[in-house]
Amino acid sequence: MPFSSYFYVMQKKSKNITVKGVCIIRYNAKFDKYDVDAGLKLGGPKKHRKRCATKQEALAYADLLKVKIKNYGLSGFKLSAEEQADAEKALKIARPLDVSLSEAMKFYAQYHEQPGAKMTFADLVTNFRHQLEDDRAKGEGVKDRTFQDYKHRHKRLADELGDVSLITFSHEKHWLPLSRKLGTSSRRFENHLRILFNHAVEKEYIQVSPMKGKLSKATRLNKPAILREDQWRQLLLTAIKTDRELDLLCYVVLTLYMGLRPQSEVPNLSWKSINFKTKKLFIADDQTGKSDLGRTLEIPNCAIDLLQICARKDGMIIESSYQHKKNWLYLREQAGFIVRDAKGKTIKNTWKHDVARHTAGTMVYAKTQSKELVRSFLGHTNDVTMRHYVNHGESIDEEAERFFSFQATSSSSEKNLKTA
């Protein structure tokens, strides 16, 4: 390089850069580096200096000093390395909001003055339960079953999150890991968390709920299709009347009164599975057609009476799959569930999939009010039972009495047919 060019470059490098109120950046020709010199501006007995490899690095460091002075004042330079790293993380959050760290800390201090600052999640659960109990004592609030469900789920949440402070609760830090642990049931627990934190906001324990999103609609219990009283009566009476021809009375009883799965359980059973003396029906593990365990069921008296008048009582319940499908279709036509036009085209079909099984589960719940019994009766291994049957079962207890007192005698059948 010609001397004149070298001199020009060196002269350009050696030009000092002043960062007002912070420091001076000087080029150090001896080491070919840049010195950031803040002198005694930052406080302390020693001058504050840093050597940087490039001009860009020196400018970046000067900017950092400027930000520190703006946000912390001179005390920012007394922070430990860990504190400085944490402060830099906080700055990344504060910058887009156009606030300094001191302003953010004032807001945080004010936030901690809320009534909920000293409350834990367990305290919130207790507070909410007391509110429910007070409402119920006044004749208001939730029903018994809902109250018990709240207690059960809130206890589980308190066991997992009880020690967490309300104002430090985080959707990402606390809820998401727990939701993965809860698996498929997490959606219901998430709803209860939102209910609890909404209560905390209403009581002004906190200003904003930490739970993201809205209450899930999944808490609504859907009612399954079940047979009306006139429909199940008509089905039974038609099955009785046509049993010698169609051989379907046993099939109807096992699906309608015993709640068996029509496609995966009944076809695997024989008449030997029915014990008339003990009034028990045994379904082996390999006869469920699913991964569920086998079960032994008590047969109600009305079902025993109906089974007693079946024309055939030996061999498999369904002897011919092909003939069974034809007969079953014809029976539903005769009972009025399927209607065809003059050309044989179906114009109406009110029969729903598993409607007989759903009716059985609903009637058992209406009679017993026992979730566990219905779960065992239907061979379920999880809470799917409750989503299907509870809503119906709470409103048809009188019909359930008539359902389980149905008489199979011919004179009674004619009477039932007239009143159906």
pLDDT at 149: 86
Per CATH, the number for 115-219 is: 1.10.150.130
pLDDT at 418: 42
pLDDT at 216: 45
Which of 63, 71, 118 has the alpha carbon at shortest distance from 95? 71
pLDDT at 229: 94
pLDDT at 39: 78
pLDDT at 170: 85
Give me Rg for the CA atoms of the chain. 38
Residue 326 token pair? 């034809």
Are the C-beta atoms of residues 167 and 111 closer than 8 Å to each other? Answer: yes
pLDDT at 221: 44
- Please give the model's pTM, rounded to 2 decimal places: 0.48
Domain boundaries, the chain: 3-78, 115-219, 229-419
CATH label, 229-419, candidates 3.40.50.800, 1.10.443.10, 3.40.1740.10, 3.40.50.720: 1.10.443.10
115-219 and 3-78 share a CATH fold: no
CATH 3.30.720 fits 3-78, yes or no: yes
Are the C-beta atoms of residues 210 and 116 closer than 8 Å to each other? Answer: no
Are the C-beta atoms of residues 201 and 209 closer than 8 Å to each other? Answer: yes
pLDDT at 412: 42
pLDDT at 92: 76
pLDDT at 10: 52
pLDDT at 217: 44
Q: Is 11 exposed, middle or buried (0-12, 13-18, 19+ CB in 10 A)?
A: exposed
Work out the end-to-end distance of the chain between its first and last CA atoms, rounded to an integer number of angstroms.
111
pLDDT tens-place values along the chain, 420 residues long: 554 454 444 555 667 888 887 889 999 888 889 999 887 766 556 778 889 999 889 888 888 887 777 765 655 555 666 776 777 777 777 777 777 777 777 666 666 666 667 889 999 999 999 988 888 787 777 777 888 888 899 999 999 998 988 888 888 888 888 888 888 788 888 888 888 988 888 888 887 888 866 554 443 445 678 999 999 999 999 999 999 999 999 999 999 999 999 988 999 999 999 999 999 999 886 665 554 456 899 999 999 999 999 999 999 999 999 999 999 999 999 999 999 999 989 999 999 988 999 999 989 988 888 878 888 888 775 555 555 565 555 568 889 999 999 987 643 444 444 443
